[in-house]
Amino acid sequence: MTLGAGDVFLLPHGTKHVVRSRTKGPDAAIVTEYRNAIRAKSTVGAQPDTEIICGRLWFEAGDDNALAAALPDTIVMRTVGQKSVERFRRLLIDIRDELDSEIVGSTVIATNLASALFVMMLRLHLLQAPERRSMLSLLHDRTTSRAVVAMLKEPSKDWTLNDMAEVAITSRVTLVRAFRRVSGLAPMAYLAALRLDLARHRLSETNDSIGEVAATVGYKSEGAFSKAFLRRFGLRPGAVRQR
C-alpha cells in the first residue's frame, strides 16, 4: 500500500506490518533516541525529507467489542483538503507537549488525548467509507441505534424483525423505514452483513474452528455460513484462516 503526505494509516487489529521506502532502503545507519515515552529514529548524517509519526493504542474492549471487530484490517484515510487534519495536528502537538513537560499527570493526559485522536480518526473513516458510513449513521439515529447496539451485543441471537422493533421501542414499519433511510439496507440485511464482518475478524484473530465461528455469529450450519461468506467476500472461510 502506497502512502503519501498527509495520509493516515490505521491497523485496528494490530496487524503486523513493515514500513519502507518505495525506492530503496536507508542511505546510512539509523539511530534511535528515547525522550520520555517517545522513541525517535533518524538516519545518521542525512537531512530528512519525510517524517512519519507512529503510535500504538491499547483499548480495553479487545475482541469483545463487536464494533471494533467489524472494522477492516487496514484503514487508509486521505486527509489532504480535510478540515479534520488540523485537529489531528493540534492533538499530536498537545500529546508531545504533555510528554515533554514531565509534569505530574502528563502521561494520563497524553493517553486520553491519544484515545480521542484514535476515535476521531475512526469517525473520519466511517464518514468517508460508503460501506462503513451506515454504522456511524445508524448509531447516531435515535430510532435505529438501540437495534444496532442489541445486534452488536448478541449477533448469534435468532433475531426477528419483531425483536428488533421491540428493543428499538418502535414499530416494524418505522424501523424498516429508518434503516433504509440511513443505511440503504433493511434491518435483517444489515444484520447479515454485520455477522459476516464479525466472523471474518474472528477467523483472523482466534483459533476457533469454522463451525464455532459460524455459531458465534448466528449460523446454524457451517455450510450455510460458508456460502454466505463466499458471496460476501469472494473466498471461503478456510482461505481467511490460512492467511
Q: What is the pTM of this model?
A: 0.59
Task: Give percent of the chain above pLDDT 70.
Answer: 88
pLDDT of residue 226: 92
Pairwise CA distance, residues 73 & 47, whole Å: 34
| Neighbour tally for 17: CB within 10 Å | 9
Q: How far is the CA of 146 from the CAs of 71, 90, 150, 151, 178, in angstroms?
A: 20, 34, 6, 9, 12
Q: Judging by DSSP bridges, how do beta strands 7-10 and 75-78 pair with one another? A: antiparallel
pLDDT of residue 137: 74
Burial class (CB in 10 A: 0-12, 13-18, 19+), 166: middle
pLDDT of residue 63: 45
pLDDT of residue 26: 65
DSSP-based three-state secondary structure for 75: strand
Mean pLDDT value of segment 70-84: 75
H helices of 105-221, where?
106-128, 130-140, 142-153, 161-168, 172-183, 187-205, 210-216
Q: Which sequence spans correspond to the domains of the chain?
A: 7-128, 133-242
Among 71-80, 110-119, 135-144, the range with the most confident prediction by mean pLDDT is 110-119
pLDDT of residue 68: 65
pLDDT of residue 134: 64
**CATH T-level topology, domain 133-242:** Arc Repressor Mutant, subunit A (1.10.10)
pLDDT exceeds 80 at position 130: no
